[in-house]
Every structure is written in structure tokens, then in C-alpha cells.
Amino acid sequence: MKKKNEVVLNKKPRWKLLHQYYSYTGFYRFVGTSLKKAILPVILFLAALFAINEYVININSVLVTVTETFSPLGIISVFLASESIGLGLVPPELFIAWAGKSAMPVLFLSFLALASYVGGIISYWIGKAITRIPAVHRTMETKMSKHIKNTEKWGGFLIVVGALLPIPFAITSVAAGIINYKFRYYLLFGLLRFIRFYGYALVIFKIV
């Protein structure tokens, strides 16, 4: 009876066990390193925009011209392609800035967030499709070995981080598809992508 009670008393809460697991496997270190790597490019990008706006050309005028010249559907389609087959290579901040100069900033920002979410889903299914082509699968496993291993270890938490932080969400999504991560959980965690877009729009571009 005493041993049974000791087991019950010594049983740790689930959140503590998860915390231990993510500590031991280096999840927090990975997030910290990724943030350090990602924050500098974002700062440099914003600084470059500010410098260009001040000393080269008025970016506000350029963005207004873009909104008047190109259709919103065309711009959002380019962003969707970037967030899916382009693996998120074009900074979302550029499109968020465009939304801020559009006639309906919040509406177009929501469309951009939706495009990013859908782009992630497309990337997920690209990952699933890759597993059916052995030669491509081997190549992608080599090039994305780190992301695949991390997704296998951390699963949903890595998708949450990819959705919220400046870490390539499309690449994380492809890795989730390759390891056959449960789609319904991917869809759920991926919804946090909307929070990132609204957060960026509010804090950086003062749109929302």
C-alpha cells in the first residue's frame, strides 16, 4: 500500500513531463536559436524599408501605386504561391505592408493570412506526395533532415512555433507531411498563423 501511494504522490503533472521532455530534447534551445536567426533579418528588412523610404523613394507611394495597378487577387495569388511552392521565400511583411495601403486593410490582411494558411496546407500535401516518389523523397530527406527530425521529435509544438514565429512555416509543413503527421492536428495548430499576421499588422504596421 505504501509503495502504491508513493507512486501516486511522485507522479508528475503532464505539463511538467512535457516541459522536461522539451528541455532534454533541445526544443527551447532550438526556438531561441531560431528566433535569434530570424529577428535579425526582420529588423534588417524593416530598417531597409525605412532607409529606402527616407532617402531613395517614398515606399508609401509605391505601395499605393501597386494597389492601384495590380488586382488584389493577383497579389494574393503571388503570395499564396510563395507560401506553398515557393516555401515562404518572399517575406510576408512585404505583403502585410501592401495590405496596409489597400482600400480595405483588415479585409486584405485576412485574405493574406488565409492564403498563408492554405499555402501551408498545400506544402503539407506536397510533403505527403514526396513520400510516394522514392528518388525525390531521398533527396528531400537529405536536404530537410534537420526539419524532419525536429518534427518527429516535437510534432505539434514545432508547427505552433512555425505558425507564430518567423520560422519558415512552409518548410515545417512539408516536413509534417513527410512524417505523416495527423492532418486534423496540423489544421488546428496551423490556425495560429492568423494570430501571427494580425500581431505583425498591429505591432509593426499599425494596421489592425
CB 196 within 8 A of CB 164: yes
Cβ proximity of 32 and 167 under 8 Å: no
Better-scored residue on pLDDT, 127 or 135: 127
Which residues, 6 or more positions from 4, have their beta carbon under 8 angstroms from its beta carbon?
none
| 127 conformational bin, left if phi > 0, alpha if psi -120 to 50, beta if neither | alpha
Q: What is the pLDDT of residue 59?
A: 65
pLDDT digits (tens, 9 = 90+) for 46-91: 777 678 777 777 766 777 677 778 888 999 998 999 899 877 777 7
Phi/psi for 191 (5° steps) reads: -60, -20
